Amino acid sequence: GLSNGFYCTDNKNYLWCHGTTEGTPGKCLGETVCKCGRTQYNPCVWSFLDLPDCEKKPGDFFEKLPDSSDTKPDSSESKHESSDTKPDSSEIKPDSSEIKPDSSEIKPDSSEIKPDSSEIKPDSSEIKPDSSDCKLDSSEIKPDSSDCKPDSSEVKPDSSEVKPDSSESKHESSEVKPDSSESKHESSEPEVSVPKKTVAYYTNWAQYRFNSIDGWTCKYTTDNIDPTIVDVINYAFVVFDSTYTVKEYEWNDDQMIPKIVAMKSRNPNLKVLASIGGWNFNFYDSTKHLYSQMAEKQATRATFIKSAMNFARKYNLDGIDIDWEYPANEDQGGRPVDTQSFTLLLKEFREAIDKEVGNGKSKLLLTIAAPAGPWNIKNIEISKFYKYLDWINLMTYDLHGSWDSVTGPHTALYATDGISVDDAVTAYLNAGVPSAKIMLGMAHYGRGWTLKSSSDHEMGSNATGASKSGTCTGENGYLSKYEIDALIPQENIKFDSKSKTMYGYKNDQWFSFDTQETFKYKADYLCKKKLGGVMFWSLDLDKNYVNTKYIKSLIEEC
């Protein structure tokens, strides 16, 4: 429910102000004000305050200032992404300049999330999730992306901790172990030429945005969706509780989901999936352990799978997208046992789907928002579980962000540090995944930094932290492409030939993003590798769907 104030929690180098009423400011000491906006899981989003500026301690109460009349409906569960987020982990791993899911404003990707997403995945606050998408915003929150994600007003935690290699933990002897006889380098499935899919995440927190930019309204609802430009819409996000029951998160999910499903009248080939989880869901203390706990035992996996399938049937959905950011990632509530648990979850989900088909029901689709960062890829058994999936939404964004001390390409096509689109795709192909099962993640947002010196604005320049928040997404370090376009002078937009991405700057604000020029490189790569299609984090971040339509036209020519 709604409360009358704010509380402090401490996570690493930041003091967070948590609130419960959208738009209500909270007062830290006498002068410092924390603005609170809508998030996906927490009814209010937090804003960051450097510890030296605020003497409040974790757990201290923040007095609510007067003159607030906002009464946004309260969400009973913690959300996925910072409101936009992407799907891949945004945390910094050693020897990596990358990153956190999808993804997210928050997949869903995040200062804003998804799916590696980051407005507030997730985002982010939009996020995706690899984020992270990341994909979770100060005004909302990989998902998911990660576009995705994610996924976000997602905020990726600052981390320099080394993640332990997760050795596969043994399950109870009564559990069925997944088949491990598959080759790691060759797919047992034949490569089939099929039309390229266009998958996109819809973030259910974009409805809470306000303001406008260059005449463009920031708010985005189901009424804004054009179902004719995509083949698949992943609804980001729904969640599950401690009883492993899948349920709606937003107060009006039960209205928005049917509206999207009804869009099949305009596009009979449209598929609609519910994406479960996202960056924020795997980030907040109240929910980040749930995926790991659920997946550990056969009985709880069965409960979750049955509930997810019932949810899909309830809303006449075409399937389920699993956005767990990320198995065995300890900062995200994971444990080493998750490596094998994740494989078993997908195996048993596929078996349950096949059993339904045997009983005469239509076949549900099963997909995942998958990490692109090497530190998360090493914790999953790609070669064992890919055969259980219809396709994989690869969160190839949030590869770098404000969690890094220097600027970097968040959607690098190529890199020398092992953190790029090409490195991620190669890892999945080498694990035996048929190329047609991989949907290449693309981001309709950029990652931003505040430069240490405004005169040093190249790729790899020193930075002091995240960029300022945008007018629409409202998340530090995470701006939609159309926000960046309105901010950066054209003469300050540069092409990085190494990563095949763009970057731009204005004073001490620096951003990494893609344009149609660099999307063309990614589309060519997708075609050359014979990948199955593209995944976007997210629909709401692409003004008039200019880039979505452009990329779709490119891959249709493959």
User: Which of the following is catalytic: 325, 348, 381, 483?
Assistant: 325
d(CA 283, CA 123): 11
Short-list 50, 90, 82, CA closest to 401: 90
135 in Cβ contact with 71 (< 8 Å): no
Q: Is 325 an annotated catalytic residue?
A: yes
Q: How far apart are CA 165 and CA 167, in angstroms?
A: 6
Local structure of residue 275 (DSSP, 8 states): E
Asked whether the beta carbons of 235 and 254 are under 8 A apart, the reply is no
Nearest to 392 by CA among 240, 534, 247, 545: 534
Backbone angles phi, psi at 386, to 5 degrees: -60, -30
**How many Cβ atoms sit within 10 Å of the Cβ of residue 55?**
11
Distance between CA atoms of residues 287 and 307, nearest Å: 17
Interior CA angle at 221 toward 218 and 226, to 5°? 100
32 in Cβ contact with 26 (< 8 Å): no
93: nearest Cα among 424, 403, 365: 403
Q: Are strands 61-64 and 5-11 parallel, antiparallel or unpaired?
A: antiparallel
By CB atoms closer than 10 A (0-12, 13-18, 19+), residue 301 is buried
Contact 83, 75 (CB under 8 A): no
Residue 261: both structure tokens together: 């499903």
Residues known to be catalytic: 325
